[in-house]
Structure 1
């Protein structure tokens, strides 16, 4: 191969590689966010013994392999020298108070306070999970002169574990100590242990292995049994050794209500001191070097990094838990508000004598902005020709390259005009149409939408009220036969139209849908027409109407059938633009919050509700699904499933009510559970990406979706033409 050919091939490969690298970027930040959230939840589960924990407890076994000097010796086992284990006793008049399972944020400080009050020292056998979560208590123990021992990380029965798991339990426990207090320790107490004479053929090999790792194992010979909460007197009696005998006393500073333990210490410590006992460290009582070794260098920083990561995880998950409770309340409040207000709206507008005002019979101008809509434009225009209200139709061709304008011209339909312009975007196309409109009432629709014969008439009747400046119609998904289409159908009926009923009652409608909306020319002129400031020109103009003092209402009978995206890629592009454009519109009209007069209602009620329910709430709602997944894998699975089904049931009730109001077939609700598991997650990620784009100052361009022209209004005359070729999307 010639060098020039190789160079060309490398360049082509480089371009393909660059494309491959660029393609995932739109998913990168949302994916990183979700991975970070999952990692924090996993870390939380790890340090709360919900992940990798083993709560099995082995029944006793025979003790034929345990040396006699161990079974008949003291409670301290030193097996650091292979083949020569020793059992050590505590000298007379010495008490080694030991506390297991901590540190606990409630009871450990109380225990430490009592020890400090009576100038007593103790040994705390801490678990790695608790030390990781409460490092300040471990640091206090060391600072106040107490000794620390290991009690494993997750508190498993080590006789049921492999050597690698034992090593892991020890190293993780040491890591937590290093991060909390900057030390290592050579003391160890196995979970579920008691006296040394209870060692058997299963636990003794573990004790030997622990010794080979450089640890002294400390059992006890005096059990207060405070974990049974038998009462203060019983705890003191059981913790008191006979005569002047030295002893290791077992107590607990965690694992439940330890109020009796604290109360017992208040009497036990001074009483035993009066009897001549001293409360000391284990190593001090045995005349051995201190069990603590300072940790420095990388090991110290690894421990500090671990403790810091746990702290971040704890704080984050605490905030998320509060957020989850908040979201749960908002879900219930929103559904309740939607049901009540939607019922009120339907009851009001469906009364036999209900009228907006005098019947509106004057002609209307219908604007159809179109850019490369050859697959749909004929269906759209033909549906308008069947209108039972007098109209003129203006198709604004925004520089189409597929012959859209020519198709309309070739139809030779009365009262249909084509206005051609250089490609300038949808807002400018609509403004151009407004300038060419002959009538004072203007209906706007998309080039891929079809109207029913009564749509225009129903849409303009609210203008009988002179206070009404704009009317939102009832947008329907026409291509609902696919799974994605069915999911969007549910979303349109429940999420959009039910919302519009609620917002109509509250007089703070946030959006006139681009597929079906009507305006007074006077209102449009007063707010300056359609703006190019945002990517959601329909939301922008609606908010501007509110701020100018106009009422914006919902006409449920003005139905329009639109072609929804049929692929995930197209759906992503559309919703990404909608979400980002809504954020832009909210930011643009943020001063409405402090305005007074007629526009103040939208600022005080509408803008906060839109921000909460359309931007903030969907961003936090994934917490429900994240905790659902976490609960299914690591938490109380049955309760998690019941809770999720309860939320789904509430959503199903709202969806069924919305379908009933819109007289839709309930069969599409079969896919509701799957929508909640899959479709909703896609919408979350889209919104998250929109947030990231907004916060980083990114910009989006208009994106053109591929259309098939398959949507027709029920009862309309079929189009004689069906486009079969596929178009390229235009950015």
Structure 2
């Protein structure tokens, strides 16, 4: 079940997009139109006959004329949600009937209009599903076009029809050797072909008077009049009907259905049973695909706004942040030189723990180190004890989770400032000193350091390196200026001990304890700031499975923290300020934006397959260029080489999709009330300390290195 629901969701989404492309004539589109051909095989009686051709049965095809003073108004290519209702209103106004030759694609998209046509007494005919020139198509494709057109009518109005009009058809005398076989084949399938005898040419929009003139037959003759209710602006057609209908009725004409004019049985046959349900299911699926696409387009608009807003904020506020911290004479307050306690929670970190502790021993700031062994089974605590390093204490406890280990370390800490790091992270010699300097300001309760990926040589490591520098550290600069830093990273963060005690320590309520405690600090009125020079090198996951596990926990934990602190939105004071600024930004940029970001790639793929290809590629590349500019600026601020940005385009295509599925899984877990356990990642110890510390044995400081039970 872990991957099943996200996978099913993605499959359903893909199916909806494919159905939309299918219905919008974007998959099987064939826009070829055959030029006129010879008429050698077309019988003279057909060329000189009426506009209705009956090629059913085994006898010779026959043609039929419309009786005098009978007019059959026909409308092609609909229904259209804008113009078809207005055409129907005009027909209803003058008590006239007509025949609507509809495409299956439009009928499935607008089923209510088909039902209205039938309910108001009009006839409906087939105009194929996707409107191709059938003279280019095989018998199998013709059968498919007719069957799908009928399926849409069955689902929309519960009827089948025996009327058919070929796309791009005209008068009977225009039938040639290429389309005559089509008419005969369609007749063999049980359909009557209805051409036209009077063309209003409304599709050219020649003006109302010209349309009326073109549509009016001469000398009282009966006629099938060709008009359109779809395919463009049909305002002139609607206006012309308001003149044409009463004018011709005044001349003694009646506007009737085709079968009424021919004194024949209705063209409609009700459907029941499985055929009816298949039609309804098809129409329902099309409606879902249409609404899904509307939602996706809306989501694309939202993500577009969020992307540009976030990048704009990041660039502007990061510039202001860099200008502030690098300004001449900038100081947080008096220099912090007091010793600090560094807490290292560790669970089965035998591959990394030695490098972690040795890096701390190289620190240029006075520290004590507390390694809290959280019930490790791989000898992690034994490795630290065997190192015999000064000012390093090992605290053993039964396995209780990271928050429990951190709180235990806080209880044993000797100093007022507490630095927290992960057991797979190494510090530079200056990291602790840089990290604690903001505490010179008594209003500062917590400080976020600059977490960096140490194992960036692999492709997945390089992608995470880009994410850390651009997505995390650039964000932290932005949030620092806005005064709503959402997360002190577990890999490198520092807290004022009194501030921790006031918020109740590290909570076990969420899986993102670092985000939870940071939000609690804001709500308690403390400043939370970013120290960009306090660099820590962490070992990022080296496989997709490990990355999935880590980000799944982060995403779900962040949602938990947002939900836990939701009441801050309605509170006053510091809590309210964070709730009305910080929580919305975190929700938009860390939850909603990553969830919607893959829509950029979804519509890229959709545009490449269905078009317009060029505009789609240009738009996607435009977004990529903006991301590249932001990434380059972030790398410059972090003094990183730009060579890793070569993999940025591939990261956007592949890595973003993985993050999307992870976030989707987190949403599903949250909405279904599921619970997620802490997941331990496998470490390799690939990230080494900046400098080696000689092993010391038998020194006086051994009293500081004794394990604490």
Which bracket does the TM-score occupy, shorter chain normalised? over 0.9
Give the aligned partner of residue 288 of structure 2. Answer: 312
1:545 aligns with 2:521: yes
Give the aligned partner of residue 699 of structure 2. Answer: none
| 1:544-596 deviation per Cα after TM superposition (whole angstroms, max 9, x unaligned) | 11111111100000000000010111111111111111111111111111111
Quote the offset at 1:204 in angstroms. Answer: 0.8
Partner SS for 2:3: helix
CA contact (8 A) 1:186 1:216 kept: yes
Quote the offset at 1:355 in angstroms. Answer: 0.4
Partner SS for 1:293: strand
Give the aligned partner of residue 2 of structure 2. Answer: 26
Quote the offset at 1:237 in angstroms. Answer: 1.4
Quote the offset at 1:37 in angstroms. Answer: 1.0
Quote the offset at 1:433 in angstroms. Answer: 0.8
CA contact (8 A) 1:159 1:202 kept: yes
Give the aligned partner of residue 90 of structure 2. Answer: 114
1:220 aligns with 2:196: yes
CA distance in 2 between partners of 1:148 and 1:705 (Å): 64
CA distance in 1 between partners of 2:515 and 2:145 (Å): 57
Partner SS for 1:649: helix
Give the aligned partner of residue 409 of structure 1. Answer: 385
Pairing 1:292-441 to 2, within 5 Å after superposition? 292-441=268-417
CA contact (8 A) 1:128 1:153 kept: yes
CA distance in 1 between partners of 2:185 and 2:679 (Å): 66
CA contact (8 A) 2:455 2:687 kept: yes
Pairing 1:109-258 to 2, within 5 Å after superposition? 109-258=85-234
Pairing 1:688-727 to 2, within 5 Å after superposition? 688-714=664-690
CA contact (8 A) 1:131 1:177 kept: yes
Give the aligned partner of residue 700 of structure 2. Answer: none
Partner SS for 1:235: helix
CA contact (8 A) 2:358 2:689 kept: no
CA distance in 2 between partners of 1:646 and 1:368 (Å): 44
Quote the offset at 1:246 in angstroms. Answer: 1.1
CA distance in 2 between partners of 1:583 and 1:38 (Å): 27
Give the aligned partner of residue 598 of structure 2. Answer: 622
CA distance in 2 between partners of 1:83 and 1:181 (Å): 32
CA distance in 2 between partners of 1:67 and 1:718 (Å): 105
| 1:243-299 deviation per Cα after TM superposition (whole angstroms, max 9, x unaligned) | 111111111111111111111111111111121111111111111111111111111
CA contact (8 A) 1:560 1:713 kept: no
| 1:659-692 deviation per Cα after TM superposition (whole angstroms, max 9, x unaligned) | 0000000000000000000011101000110111
CA contact (8 A) 1:93 1:278 kept: yes
Partner SS for 2:530: strand
Partner SS for 1:616: helix
From 647, 669, 676, the equivalent of 1:671 is 647
Pairing 1:28-47 to 2, within 5 Å after superposition? 28-47=4-23
Quote the offset at 1:189 in angstroms. Answer: 0.2
| 1:179-210 deviation per Cα after TM superposition (whole angstroms, max 9, x unaligned) | 11111111000000001111111111110111
Quote the offset at 1:82 in angstroms. Answer: 2.3
| Structure 1 residues 719 and 149, CA gap change in structure 2 (3 angstroms) | farther
CA distance in 1 between partners of 2:238 and 2:400 (Å): 78
Q: Compute the RMSD of aligned alpha carbons.
A: 1.3
Give the aligned partner of residue 448 of structure 2. Answer: 472
Pairing 1:95-114 to 2, within 5 Å after superposition? 95-114=71-90
Give the aligned partner of residue 22 of structure 1. Answer: none
What TM-score do the two structures reach when normalised by structure 1? 0.94
CA distance in 2 between partners of 1:422 and 1:522 (Å): 26
CA contact (8 A) 1:452 1:716 kept: no
Partner SS for 1:310: helix
1:71 aligns with 2:47: yes
Partner SS for 1:309: helix
CA distance in 2 between partners of 1:181 and 1:168 (Å): 20
Partner SS for 1:26: coil
What TM-score do the two structures reach when normalised by structure 2? 0.97
Give the aligned partner of residue 55 of structure 1. Answer: 31
1:653 aligns with 2:629: yes
Give the aligned partner of residue 578 of structure 2. Answer: 602
Give the aligned partner of residue 482 of structure 2. Answer: 506
Quote the offset at 1:81 in angstroms. Answer: 2.0
1:463 aligns with 2:476: no
1:561 aligns with 2:537: yes
Give the aligned partner of residue 506 of structure 2. Answer: 530
CA distance in 2 between partners of 1:181 and 1:700 (Å): 49
CA contact (8 A) 2:335 2:437 kept: yes
From 85, 88, 95, the equivalent of 2:64 is 88
CA contact (8 A) 2:306 2:588 kept: no
Give the aligned partner of residue 686 of structure 1. Answer: 662
CA contact (8 A) 1:127 1:153 kept: yes
Partner SS for 1:427: helix
From 483, 491, 495, the equivalent of 1:515 is 491
